[in-house]
């Protein structure tokens, strides 16, 4: 009788070990699958956020920027008959920055720029807060819709050292 009980106990112990191992494998597999799924979802959502601000072959990478942040422009698949200028208009309504394009010379290109305080060529953005607001991007020479973005009153770390107010006597009209 004792021998039979020992054999039963041994079989039960072996069964428990197998079951425990199977459960451990299932848990590990689920954890790895969950991690991979979460990583891919993060990757997809970051990709979804970028390059939604488009008009025809023109795109800027975001809808909202902080002071001191670069604006990244991509132009792709221009037609040979498409030529003109990308015009960035600041919150005051002045032409702040232009990028020429010509589909016969280049069908695709990338460019970045960082809005800064300026007092050149009629653009009078004397204080960093002058950068804050709604900006427009027009496309002269082609019939694409205007893009819009906003610069918010928040700074990229370290940008305060680069973007400084222009002294009042230098910023008069």
User: Which fold does the domain 53-170 belong to in CATH?
Assistant: Immunoglobulin-like (2.60.40)
Burial of residue 107 (number of CB atoms within 10 Å: 0-12, 13-18, 19+): middle
Per-residue tokens: 56? 């025809």
pLDDT of residue 34: 59
| Alpha-carbon span 75 to 78, nearest angstrom | 7
pLDDT of residue 168: 77
| Alpha-carbon span 95 to 115, nearest angstrom | 12
Q: Residue ranges per domain, the chain?
A: 1-49, 53-170
Q: What is the number of other CB atoms lying within 10 angstroms of the CB of residue 158?
A: 8
Please state whether beta strands 147-155 and 64-67 pair in parallel, antiparallel, or not at all (unpaired): parallel
What is the average pLDDT score of the chain?
Answer: 82
pLDDT of residue 83: 97
Per-residue tokens: 109? 């290109």
**Identity of the highest mean pLDDT range in 78-92, 114-128, 157-171:** 78-92
* 121 φψ region: left (φ > 0), alpha (ψ -120 to 50), beta (else): left
Q: Is residue 84 scored above 60 in pLDDT?
A: yes
Is residue 57 a contact partner of residue 76, using CB atoms and an 8 Å limit?
yes
pLDDT digits (tens, 9 = 90+) for 27-64: 777 767 655 555 555 444 445 446 689 999 999 999 99
């Amino acid at each position: 009788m004792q021998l039979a009980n020992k054999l039963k106990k041994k079989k039960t112990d072996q069964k428990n070990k197998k079951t425990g191992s199977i459960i451990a494998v299932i848990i590990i597999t689920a954890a790895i699958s969950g991690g991979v799924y979460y990583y891919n979802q993060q990757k997809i959502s970051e990709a979804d956020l970028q390059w939604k601000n488009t008009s025809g072959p023109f795109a800027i990478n975001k809808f909202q920027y902080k002071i001191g942040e670069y604006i990244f422009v991509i132009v792709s698949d221009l037609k040979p008959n498409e030529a003109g200028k990308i015009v960035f208009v600041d919150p005051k309504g002045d032409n702040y920055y232009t990028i020429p394009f010509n589909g016969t010379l280049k069908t695709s290109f990338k460019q970045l720029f960082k809005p800064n305080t300026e007092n050149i060529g009629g653009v009078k953005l004397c204080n960093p807060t002058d950068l804050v607001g709604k900006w427009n991007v027009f496309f002269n020479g082609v019939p694409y819709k205007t893009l819009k973005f906003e610069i918010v009153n928040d700074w990229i770390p370290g940008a305060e050292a680069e973007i400084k107010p222009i002294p009042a006597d230098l910023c008069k009209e």
